[in-house]
Amino acid sequence: MSAKFPRLGPLVLLALCALAACSRGDSEAAQAEPTPMGRTFVSTEIQGAPIPGGGPLTLTFKDGRISADAGCNPHSGAVALDDHKVHVTGMASTLMACPGERQGADEWLNGLLNSRPTWRLDKATLILQGDNLTVTLLDKKVALPDKPIQGTTWIVTALITPDAQIRSQAIDEVKPTLTITPDGVVSGQAGCNRMTGRAAVAGAELTFQVGATKMLCSPEVMEVEQQVLRTLDGKVNASVDADVLTLRKPDGSGLILHAEQ
């Protein structure tokens, strides 16, 4: 019996080493601290100066970059999360004019990000601490589950061209709406005129047959209405992200709509 021990000894030693290595690996994985990277967050509470226009602030961290929107222009740039601080570089944004109180949202956003705020992540909650400002955000998947396309009243907030997204005072004033009932009946306001019709829903593809009344409004409103009706004519691709519905035609044009609160 004793002659077998030398052969078993190395096997036992290897097994113990393997067990120790696995234990170290599990410990290191457990100690790896989660970061906001790969997630989107929406503000739920602000201590300090509020967002002009009400926000909310939306932050997306993905592949070493950050996308940010406080209700006016979307911003994007590189981001590092070292030392529990948000370090942004090379930030760029669109240059749309935002009417009313929202025109100060970009300045508020730049002030927060340029202050290199500290960050703390607790499960679905992200807290940013800047200069005299604390912003609490919640994971978007928790804060805003996807709304159903049918049975929700959607409000047009932007027009899509193949090259850009267009927001305007005319869109904000007339607030074109779209509702599709569970049985496919379409109703809403195109901008100036009331519209009715039907929509066939097949997964992410919608096929519209819509008509509208024939009143005339200002040229700015009619321009918005024409794109609404062009989009709601025939087949469009539909995608929902929380409370945002995007309708896009094959040529790249379309609409961005938000669920009515």
State pLDDT tens for residues 1-55. 444 444 544 444 444 344 444 445 444 444 568 999 999 999 999 999 999 999 9
Please indicate whether the domains covering 39-143 and 153-259 agree at the CATH topology level: yes
**pLDDT band of 102, cuts 50, 70, 90:** confident
Q: C-alpha dihedral over 71, 250, 237, 155, to 10 degrees? A: 40
**pLDDT band of 163, cuts 50, 70, 90:** confident
Helix (H) or strand (E) holding 109: helix 105-114
Task: List the chain domain ranges.
Answer: 39-143, 153-259
pLDDT of residue 4: 47
Q: What's the CATH code, domain 153-259?
A: 2.40.128.270
> For the segment 43-91, what is each residue's pLDDT rounded down to a tens digit?
999 999 999 999 999 999 999 999 999 999 999 999 999 999 999 999 9
pTM listed for this prediction: 0.60
Of 162 and 116, which is predicted with more confidence?
116
Q: Hey, what CATH class is 39-143 in?
A: mainly beta
Is residue 138 predicted with pLDDT exceeding 70?
yes
Both structure tokens of 184? 């496919």
Q: Is the dihedral of CA 165, 244, 229, 193 positive or negative?
A: negative
Is residue 222 predicted with pLDDT exceeding 80?
yes
pLDDT of residue 31: 54
State the average pLDDT for the chain.
89
Whether omega before 56 lies within 30 degrees of 0, making that bond cis, reads yes
